Amino acid sequence: MTEIAHHIPDEILVAYAAGTLPQAHAVVVAAHISLCAECRAALAAHEAVGGALLEVEKEEAVSEDLRNRLFDMLDAPAPVEPAPPRRNGIYPGPVAALLGPDGQAPWKSLGFGVKQAILRDTSEDSLRLLYIPAGRAMPEHGHNGLEMTLVLQGSFSDEEGRFGRGDVEIGHDALEHTPVADPGPDCICLAATDARLRFKSLVPRLLQPFFRI
């Protein structure tokens, strides 16, 4: 396994720790951390900051009633919690949890061998898997909001560098890029957006509502 070179920036880790990231982006962060010891350590450090703030928080007296109620509850059996998601092939646990019961991604063809599988699509955010055959380019696009792309298989390169398994590319408003899948295994990525991608050429733009990209 090659070393992960592109990590989650601190402000996004803090937003994840505090719970302010959209759900789609939080899945990308959780998936990356599943693959990256460095960001797992960084998240723990940010949670230590949160813990330090909790330690010095102004105390608000709690009612005796709450205390009694809670101690009465201790003997009740623990509620059954969903089992933590397990890795499935190339898919880290948090992604595997979103696949169908058969463990397969719901791939749909976009033409020229490019495929996508939409895992989540709400008015605020969307999450999809993209399958790009080696050597093929994604249409050139810019961003309206925050886009996060995590490579799960193969690699791609663009104006920002080369991205392999575990690497995350962060796209902000200003970034316009044209990712091309590198030779080798076909590239599979997980992409979170909080706004629809803007394609620059006319035809993909016409297709955009149709393909929900």
- Site residues, other proteins (CB under 8 A): 1, 9-12, 14-15, 17-21, 23, 26-27, 29-31, 33-34, 37-38, 40-63, 66-67, 69-71, 73-74, 78-79, 84-87, 92-94, 97, 146
The partner residues of 150 in beta bridges, in order of sequence, read 168, 190
Per DSSP, helices labelled H in 75-115 are 93-96
Q: How does DSSP classify residue 25?
A: H
Contacts of residue 66, defined as CB under 8 A and 6 or more positions apart, other chains included, come to none
Q: What is the closest distance, in whole angstroms, from the C-beta atom of residue 187 to other proteins in the complex?
A: 19
In the bound state with other proteins, the residue whose beta carbon lies nearer, of 37 and 203, is 37
Q: What is the closest distance, in whole angstroms, from the C-beta atom of residue 80 to other proteins in the complex?
A: 11
DSSP symbols for 125-166: -EEEEEEE-TTPBPPPEE-SS-EEEEEEES-EEETTEEE-TT
In the bound state with other proteins, the residue whose beta carbon lies nearer, of 160 and 201, is 160
Distance, CA of 8 to CA of 168 (rounded, Å):
7
In the bound state with other proteins, the residue whose beta carbon lies nearer, of 160 and 173, is 173
In the bound state with other proteins, the residue whose beta carbon lies nearer, of 26 and 99, is 26
Q: What is the closest distance, in whole angstroms, from the C-beta atom of residue 154 to other proteins in the complex?
A: 16
Q: What is the closest distance, in whole angstroms, from the C-beta atom of residue 98 to other proteins in the complex?
A: 9
First to last CA, the chain: 31
